[in-house]
Amino acid sequence: MRYALPFIGKKAVFPPLGLLTVAAMLPAEAEVSLVDLNVEPLQEAAVAAADLVFISAMIVQKESMAQVVRLCNDLGTPVVAGGPYPTSCHDQIQGVDHFVLNEAEVTLPLFLHDYARGEAKPLYASTERPDLTRTPAPRFDLVRRKDYAEMALQFSRGCPFDCEFCDIIELFGRRPRTKTPAQFLHEMDLLYQQGWRGPLFLVDDNFIGNRREVKALLAELIVWQRQRHHPFSFFTEASLDLASDEPLMDLMAQAGFNMVFLGIETPDLCALQAAGKKQNLKGDMLASIRKIQRKGMEVSGGFIVGFDSDAGDIFERQVRFIQEAGIPTAMVGLLTALPETRLHRRLKAEGRLTGDSGGGNNTHDLRLNFLPKMDPRKLIDGYKRILAEIYHPDRYFERCLKLLKTLQPHRVSRRKLHVMELRAFVRSLVVQTFSRYGWAYWRFLAQGFFARPLMVPETVTLAVKGHHYFKMTRSLLELESFKASLHEWAQTFEARLQTVAAQDFPQRLAELRAFRDRALSQMQARYQRLPRDFRAYADDAVAAFRASLEENLSRFAHEVPVQG
């Protein structure tokens, strides 16, 4: 949400809950500080002064993690690494002194015990699934809450389903483990006492995985919220079969849930069946989404293209489904074979893996790590068409309006109008009115205000999110266009080389050098016009383009006839 956060004066969406929880497990006498790279840079002086640097990362953050590890190595500060990426790929990571893998409730005490004795080992790992009643409350005092748009808490780990492409069940197992309601409410009390008011993200990968425990929590959560005049609103991740449990949806609405992320993946039933996504096959998916929306919970969804059964029409089918479902935030990704998943093991056995996982970084870098059944170029081009279509302002605002007309917010889950929302609205008027989609923006505001006059905060929030999605999509497409132009220039250069005749070699060689210089100049100008966040993802293509020009030109220059 990089381009939406300035509207509300925040630096990041969530604090790093994993590190905050690990910090609470460290010895009470330890002096602990936390650096969130989404909020502030890491200073060399802080690293040099530390006895240990603990770092956690997901696969998508592996380049950033490598930079931090190199800095620590240069300054001689030992590194302790854990989290999803090290747990899955520690054998591929260089420079880390101690890996503390899997769930920290089990492995971190072992490391701390050995470290205190001067006997810390390089690797700590365990397959044990700890009881979450052992998990301490996160150290929220280590972050500046004003930097964040939302706070985060965890109630459970694990998921009962067995989707082929998902690594959650590999990391946390298929038996969802939960904290006690009293334990979770204590963590909420801490946030409340520290002054937090507003959105709270329950980071569980499937909040409803253990329905009995969830319903017990919600019953107490409703009372807690009522006693404090509903200071928090909630959103979380769940499975689509939430729609089959009306009492559960009612409890969530009464507790203050106003959004849920669902792994919808695809409208293709064959792909769902093959991937083991059987929970999505229990009923009509569009009808299920509308049931959840009518309970006052906006549905955001994850979608995937690249399944083996995907036919040429899958891109249009995905767009049509997303539009009909009224899902403004549709996170569409290319299928990725994550380490340690059933998908990864199957593709490896079939000889179809082509590289390491990029963690599904589909916003900046379109790269497959396996050989799909569909032609790879067709798959990536189709994926780009989906993004261009669903995040065209007209189509996005069409979905937003459909959602507004479907939502039936509970009085406790309706978004409140506070100073932050007013600030966002003013900035939205200034920025979006004079954007390239200004007319579409004003048409949506007018239609939204008239259709649902009591849902102005929701309408403004959707508009601001749209600004981010439009900018991200346009930037990605500009990056891909830039890479394509490098390929075309390289082909043109090679074609010119083929036409050089011996009798005019010196003159043509000078012309080719001039062409190279113009191409490099134009390339550099277009590179500078790319959004700053996206330039790094063009660097490999730029380096390959430069090398290709120089290599070909050097080869032909050596063939210039010697003048007698």
Rounded to 10 degrees, the C-alpha dihedral 355/356/359/360 comes to: 0
pLDDT at residue 284 above 90?
yes
CB of 167 closer than 8 Å to CB of 339: yes
More confident residue, 355 or 156: 156
DSSP code string of 284-334? -HHHHHHHHHHTT-EEEEEEEE--TT--TTHHHHHHHHHHHHT-S-EEEEE
**pLDDT over threshold 50, residue 564:** no
Q: How many CA atoms lie within 13 A of 319 on its CB side?
A: 17
Per-residue pLDDT at 358 exceeds 70: no
Q: Say whether pLDDT at 195 is over 60.
A: yes
For residues 65 and 487, which has the higher predicted lDDT (pLDDT)? 65
Structure tokens at 512: 């080719």
Q: Using alpha carbons only, what angle is made at residue 163 by residues 159 and 164, rounded to the nearest 5 degrees?
A: 135
- Mean pLDDT value across residues 310-326: 96
Residue with tokens 């507003």: 198
Q: Do 411 and 253 touch, CB atoms closer than 8 A? A: no
pLDDT classification of 500: cutoffs 50, 70, 90 = low
Split at pLDDT 50, 70, 90, the class of 415 is: low
Q: pLDDT over 70 for what percent of the chain?
A: 94
CA–CA separation, 207 and 203 (whole Å): 8
Check pLDDT > 60 for residue 361.
no
Phi-psi bin for 144: left (phi > 0), alpha (psi -120 to 50), beta?
Answer: beta
Q: By 3-state DSSP, what share of the chain in percent is helix, strand and coil, each rounded to 5?
A: 55, 10, 35
Distance between CA atoms of residues 311 and 515, nearest Å: 42
Tokens of 401: 């309006």
Reported as a pLDDT band with limits 50, 70 and 90, residue 17 is: very high
Residue 512 has what pLDDT? 74
DSSP H helical ranges for 328-455:
342-349, 376-390, 393-406, 419-433, 438-451
For the residues 164-183, what does the mean pLDDT come to? 92
The letter for the amino acid at 58 is M
Contact present, 332 and 305 (Cβ < 8 Å) = yes
Check pLDDT > 70 for residue 560. no
pLDDT at 74 > cutoff 50:
yes
* pLDDT of 513 higher than 60: yes
What CA–CA distance (Å, rounded) separates 431 from 525? Answer: 26
Instruction: Check residues 194 and 537 and name the one with the higher pLDDT.
Output: 194
Half-sphere exposure of 342 (CA within 13 A, CB side): 12
Least confident of 205-214, 268-277, 344-353, 546-555: 546-555
For residues 489 and 284, the model is more confident at 284
Indicate the residue type of 121: K
Averaged pLDDT of the chain: 89
- Residue listed under structure tokens 């905060």: 457
Q: What is the pLDDT of residues 203-226, one digit of tens each?
A: 999 999 999 999 999 999 999 999
* pLDDT-based confidence at residue 501 (cuts at 50, 70, 90): low
State residue 476's pLDDT score. Answer: 86
Please name the residue ranges forming H helices in 165-313: 168-172, 181-193, 211-227, 246-255, 269-275, 285-294
Mean of pLDDT values over 452-472:
89
Q: Taking the complete model, does pTM exceed 0.85, yes or no?
A: yes
